[in-house]
Amino acid sequence: MAMPETTVTQESLPTSVDLAEEYRTSGVAEILEELDRDLVGLKPVKRRIRETAALLLVERARRAMGLSHEPPSLHMSFTGNPGTGKTTVALRMANLLHRLGYIRKGHLVSVTRDDLVGQYIGHTAPKTKEILKKAMGGVLFIDEAYYLYRPDNERDYGQEAIEILLQVMENNRDDLVVILAGYSDRMDRFFESNPGFRSRIAHHIDFPDYANEELLSIAETMLERQGYHLDAEATDVMTDYIARRRSQPHFANARSIRNALDRARLRQANRLFEEAKGPVNAEQLSTIIGRDIAASRVFAMKPPTPSEPRQETA
Ligand SMILES: Nc1ncnc2c1ncn2[C@@H]1O[C@H](COP(=O)(O)OP(=O)(O)OP(=O)(O)O)[C@@H](O)[C@H]1O
């Protein structure tokens, strides 16, 4: 007796995929629009994220149609100075990868060397594994990743953490994305000494410093989100503040702006208390005036003396 024919499920696979439709329904369009709207500047970064999203959508379509596919390696490095938006973008990236089904949960676990490396023998492996367990299904963001590697100390426990990370990055790449972040030059040196990391990281995204006008827009965006605004004079003072702050120690791009605005709000609140003779209205409660910023120590500091005579450019 002839055996009944078994039907192969190949028939149920779609024969075409509407990428534009996928782009909308997957929620990717929404995330990219939010990214554009919420973050000032960062053009090259946004472009790279859009490219990654396109790659993942195509990959997903290939999988749906039964075409040969290999999950792309999504480990990344984010290089740039402090406060250039690396953590913020990593959060958005985690969300994007989750929407596209590449990671199960889409959360971000942000760590530094101390969270991974122990002080005593036998402490590092359990510490690193605990963090990896927490990060599974999401993104592990390792800030200042180069501190994991200390070439001056042969028996540094960082090496143990590196080995575990490398193994997990290879074996669990369909459920964990690792982002290494830090200053560009140090990261370059780190990759030179750690070819294992270099070969596992396919996407390098550089975060440039913000221009002064971008920092002013960032200030305005941050205030708007908190329901505040600068008056005309405060806008001028803030412009001056940004130019001065940039050349002073510990400048950290958008983070310095956030801190400056926190202090400006504090001064505004105190000013309102000191000056108020009667009830204050919504406009007064929401306006930062020139004095609220001009009282900053930044204006009291002398401009740095250049160590060398400045070269005049033509
Ligand atoms: N392009 C931007 N537009 C608006 N806000 C921004 C932008 N970039 C950064 N910020 C804000 O600046 C602050 C610092 O950013 P973030 O923590 O992402 O920087 P980072 O590069 O990770 O710096 P660090 O390494 O010092 O943590 C955050 O509050 C973030 O929301």
Render pLDDT for 135-155 as a digit per residue (tens, 0 to 9): 999 999 999 999 998 877 777
Is 254 touching ligand 1 by the criterion CB < 6 Å?
A: yes
Give the pairing of strands 139-143 and 177-182: parallel
Containing 77, the helix (H) or strand (E) segment is strand 76-80
pLDDT at position 306 is 56
Out of 37, 76, 87, mutate this one to test ligand 1's pocket (max ligand atoms within 8 Å of CB): namely: 87
Give the residue whose CA is nearest to atom 13 of ligand 1. Answer: 255
Kindly state whether residues 106 and 46 are assigned to the same domain.
yes
- Residue 41 backbone dihedrals phi, psi, to 5 degrees: 65, -135
Residue 219 domain-assigned? Answer: yes
pTM: 0.87
Residue 108 in contact with ligand 1 by CB distance below 6 A: no
Report d(CA 23, CA 57) in Å as an integer.
7
**Same domain membership, residue 109 and residue 22:** yes
131 and 157 in a single domain? The answer is yes
CA dist 272 to 57, 84, 127, 236, Å?
52, 33, 49, 21
Any atom of ligand 1 within 6 Å of the Cβ of 39: yes
- Give kind and range of the element (H or E) at residue 110: strand 108-111
Q: How far is the CA of 256 from the centre of ligand 1 (A)?
A: 9
Beta bridge partners, 142, equal 111, 180
Q: Where are the alpha helices (DSSP H) in 100-157?
A: 113-116, 124-135
Kindly state whether residues 132 and 200 are assigned to the same domain.
Answer: yes
47 and 25, same structural domain? yes
Strand ranges in 112-241 using DSSP code E only, listed in sequence order: 139-143, 177-182, 203-207, 229-230
Residues 109 and 173 in one domain: yes
Place of tokens 């028939």: 11
Within this chain, do residues 178 and 33 fall inside the same structural domain, yes or no?
yes
Q: In angstroms, how far is CA 117 from the centroid of its own chain?
A: 23
Specify the pLDDT at position 17: 82
Q: What is the CATH number of the domain that holds 186?
A: 3.40.50.300
Coil, strand or helix at 141: strand
* Domain edge (last residue) among 157, 187, 207: 207
- Domain assignment present for residue 313? The answer is no
Residues 136 and 217 in one domain: no
Q: In this predicted structure, what is the pLDDT of residue 119?
A: 84
Instruction: Tell whether ligand 1 has an atom less than 6 A from the beta carbon of residue 143.
Output: yes
Q: What is the pLDDT of residue 305?
A: 59
Q: Evaluate: CB of 42 within 6 angstroms of ligand 1.
A: yes
In a domain, 223, yes or no: yes
**CA 155 / ligand 1 centre spacing (Å):** 35
Q: What is the pLDDT of residue 149?
A: 84
On whether residue 68 sits in a domain, the answer given is yes
Residues 255, 119 share a domain: no
Question: Which residues lie below 8 Å from residue 303, measured CB to CB, with a gap of 6+?
Answer: 244, 247
Residues 133 and 74 both lie in one domain: yes
Residue 303's pLDDT is 61
Report the pLDDT value the prediction gives residue 307, as an integer from 0 to 100: 54
How remote is the CA of residue 218 from the centroid of ligand 1, in Å? 10
Those residues of the chain that have pLDDT short of 50 are 1-8, 308-314
Is residue 88 in contact with ligand 1, taking CB distance under 6 Å? yes
Domain hosting 291: range is 212-299
DSSP string, 206-258: EEPPPPHHHHHHHHHHHHHHTT-EE-HHHHHHHHHHHHHHHTSTT--HHHHHH
Residues in the chain: 314
**What is the CATH classification number for the domain harbouring 220?**
1.10.8.60
In a domain? residue 1:
no
CB of 83 within 6 A of ligand 1: the answer is yes
The conformational region for residue 10 under phi > 0 = left, psi -120 to 50 = alpha, else beta, is: alpha
Question: Is residue 241 exposed (0-12), middle (13-18) or buried (19+ Cβ within 10 Å)?
Answer: buried
Sign of the Cα pseudo-torsion (270, 276, 282, 288, in order): negative
From the CA of 41, how far away is ligand 1's center (Å)?
12
CB of 244 within 6 A of ligand 1: the answer is no
Domain for residue 144, yes or no?
yes
DSSP state of 12: G
Q: Is the CB of 208 under 6 A from ligand 1?
A: no
Q: From 150, 183, 207, give the residue that closes a domain.
A: 207
My answer on whether 135 and 154 are in the same domain is: yes
* Rounded distance from Cα 85 to ligand 1 centre (Å): 4
Find out whether the beta carbon of 110 lies less than 6 Å from any atom of ligand 1.
no
Q: What's residue 224's pLDDT? A: 96
Is 311 a member of any domain? no
Q: Check whether residue 87 and residue 225 sit in a common domain.
A: no
Cα–Cα distance, 84 to 75 (Å, whole number): 20
Under a CB-based contact definition with an 8 Å cutoff, are residues 201 and 76 in contact? yes
CA atoms in the 13 A half-sphere facing the CB of 108: 18
ipTM: 0.96
Q: Is the CB of 252 under 6 A from ligand 1?
A: yes
For 8, 224, 269, 283, 290, the CA distances from 231, given in Å and listed in that order, are: 69, 12, 16, 11, 7
Q: Domain tally for the chain? A: 2
Asked which of 158, 188, 207 is the last residue of a domain, the reply is: 207
